[in-house]
Every structure is written in structure tokens, then in C-alpha cells.
Amino acid sequence: MNDPVSEELRGVVAGPVLLPGDAGFADEVAVYNLNNYLEPAVAVGVTSVADVRAVVRLAAARRLPVAVRTTGHQVAQHAGGAILINTSRMDGVRIDADARTARVEAGVRWSAVTAAAAEYGLAPMSGSTLSVGVVAYLLGGGQSPVFGRSQGYAADHVREIELVTADGELRQVTAADEPDLFWALRGGKGNFGVVTAIEFDLFPVSEFYGGGLHFPGERMASVLRVWRTWALTLPEEATTSVAVQRLPPIPELPEPLRGAFVLHVRFAFLGSTEDGARLLAPIRAVTAAILDDVRTRPYTESALIHASPSTGTSASAPCCAATCG
């Protein structure tokens, strides 16, 4: 892509337009998984719907590819040679406590939504890591480690999607007005345009019983034999998963887990502490855990169920062997 294109972009958007080598370019294209780096021809930090429409229209006129980044949690290198639209500056969050809904702009992360909703005793169907962007999570389906079994996919609780299509037009997409497009967007990822805002349901939940148990690797088989039958007996209000992890010897981890090979049993229950402890008792009875941090906690701590890194890593997340939900 020639410099004239970047100059043209600077003339139509309010946000920064950066080329490889420019100060700030590396931050603009940074990713969570450092193995999946992005190599766009130019990065545009959009600040509004008007910016998004201007970029899409220019790209269409020049027949140039477009890619979208919010938090960099994507699993593929999808921006090679493209105009990269970074939506992270579009960070508006609006909670309607009476309707139990949230409307967020394209750059919002789940951490902002959980904090805003908690002020009203509400919670979203956020994922295992609160640093993930709301829009991409919902467009991909989204399965909550807390609500996964009781409420299904998070995409099923989307109310409305604001979308800039490939022709640069802005659409308000609902099940009533554009049912086919609405259906396709909820699970179809980013193949139909650039989402600039999304509205979805919230739930009257302020806390849950949950967290993780780390068992020594040498007892993994014993724990898994119990887990695979125990998980099938859980009520829909409970969700569990397991991960086999070889953890690095880094100070960010609790001392017992540094450099350890473990089975991580994750558990969440929408109910009382007493009922949650009773449900979890068969797993706790198998063997002593290296670390057991399952307790009643505010929903804003839901990321501690999986305890995934919140910042970028140079390797993929630990393998998740199975999930019940």
C-alpha cells in the first residue's frame, strides 16, 4: 500500500493512522498470543462510527482488504497487507438496569461491562478472560464459565447489533428487522461487516461459588476418573471444565504452582456456598489439592475460575481436555 492511501485515510478519520515503523504502530497491532502477530499495511485507530464508515468506504473504493482488531485475542493472522481497524478507543458502556441490558461500543472489554453491571447487581455472560473484547466473543457464540449450562450461548442473548457493512452503510440489526443477518452475525464472527455497537442481556447475579482446584499431575488419572462421571450429575446451575497444565516457574504464580505439572479443575455454581461445597465434595475427596481457591466470590472475579493470563503470552493457552457445559 502506498503512502497516498495513508494520507487519504488521515484526511477522513479523527483517529491515528500509522504505518509500519511509525511510533505507536507496534502497540496498535499488538496481540494477546504473541505467536499470532499481525502485519497490516496500515493501522487505523478509529474513534467513532463515522471513522469506521470512512475507512470501509475508502477500502471499498480502492479494493483493499480490511481487518478488525480490538484486544488482539484472535487465533489467526488475519490482517496481512490489510487496512487494520483498531476499535479499542470506542469504549462506551451503557447499562439499562430496568431492562437488564447493556449496550457497548466495539472496543469494550468484558472487565468494563462486569464492573458497570455490578453496580446494579447484574452480570453479563462474559467468558473465561475479562480482557477479551465483548463484540468478538459474542459474534463467535460465547460460552460463559458461570452461565454456560444454565443460559446456553451468550450469542443467544444478543438484542441488537449496530453494523457497518462492506458498502460503508450503517445498519441496526435485530431479529425483527433483519432476521437473516441477525442470525448470521451471532456465530458468524466478523464476516458480514464491522460491528460498532452491540446490545445484550444481563442477569440478576452478583456472586457465585467457584474457582479452581490444582491437583498434582501424578494424581491426574484418579481425579479424572471421578470427574468424568461426577460432571454428568451436576445441575444446570453448575459448570465445570478441566485443563492439563505445565506451568512456568514465574513469580506471578502462587509459589506451589511455579513450574508444576497439574490438573486444573474449574468449577462455578450459581447457588449457596453450602450447596456448592456439597456438590464439589466428591472431587475434593479424591486427593489433596496443591491449591484450592474455590469459594463464594463477586461476579467481577469470574476470571479467576480459569485464571488465564490477562496479558499477552508467547504460547497458546494450556490445553483444555474437556468441558461440561
What is the reported pLDDT for 128? Answer: 92
- In this structure, the strands spanning 158-164 and 207-216 are unpaired
What is the reported pLDDT for 187? Answer: 83
Say if residue 259 is in the same domain as residue 191.
Answer: no
State pLDDT tens for residues 59-115. Answer: 999 999 998 987 655 555 566 678 999 999 999 999 999 999 999 999 999 999 999
Say if residue 222 is in the same domain as residue 157.
Answer: no
Identify the sign of the CA torsion 247, 249, 253, 257.
positive
Say if residue 80 is in the same domain as residue 114.
Answer: no
Q: Is 70 exceeded by the pLDDT of residue 278?
A: yes
CATH number at residue 23: 3.30.43.10
Give the position of cell 468424568. Answer: 228
Say if residue 108 is in the same domain as residue 177.
Answer: yes
Q: Closest Cα partner for 159 from 101, 97, 93, 108?
A: 101
Its pTM stands at 0.88
Packing angle of the helix pair 3-10, 49-62 (nearest 10 deg):
150
Q: Which of 201, 216, 239 finishes a domain?
A: 201
Say if residue 257 is in the same domain as residue 317.
Answer: yes
What is the CA 193 to chain-centroid distance, rounded?
A: 19
Q: Is 50 exceeded by the pLDDT of residue 175?
A: yes
Q: Which of 173, 201, 229 finishes a domain?
A: 201
CATH number at residue 119: 3.30.465.10
Neighbouring C-alpha atoms within 13 Å toward the C-beta of 171:
21
Question: 96: which residues sit within 8 A by CB, 6+ positions away?
Answer: 102, 103
Report residue 64 as a C-alpha cell: 483493499
What is the reported pLDDT for 318? Answer: 40
Task: Check residues 320 and 223 and name the one with the higher pLDDT.
Answer: 223
In whole angstroms, give the CA distance from residue 22 to residue 320. 38
Say if residue 274 is in the same domain as residue 195.
Answer: no
CATH number at residue 266: 3.40.462.20
Say if residue 228 is in the same domain as residue 289.
Answer: yes
Question: 120: which residues sit within 8 A by CB, 6+ positions away?
Answer: 95, 97, 202
Cα dihedral 116→123→231→316 (10° resolution): -30
Say if residue 190 is in the same domain as residue 285.
Answer: no
State pLDDT tens for residues 10-55. Answer: 999 999 999 999 998 888 888 766 666 667 889 999 999 999 999 9
Angle 11-16-21 from CA coordinates, rounded to 5°: 110
Domain count, the chain: 3
Say if residue 130 is in the same domain as residue 113.
Answer: yes
Range of the domain at 292: 207-324
Say if residue 301 is in the same domain as residue 268.
Answer: yes
Report yes or no: 166 and 193 within 8 Å, Cβ to Cβ: yes
Q: Which of 163, 183, 201 finishes a domain?
A: 201
Say if residue 131 is in the same domain as residue 226.
Answer: no
- In this structure, the strands spanning 194-201 and 291-292 are unpaired
What is the reported pLDDT for 252? Answer: 87
Say if residue 76 is in the same domain as residue 97.
Answer: no
Report yes or no: 136 and 185 within 8 Å, Cβ to Cβ: no
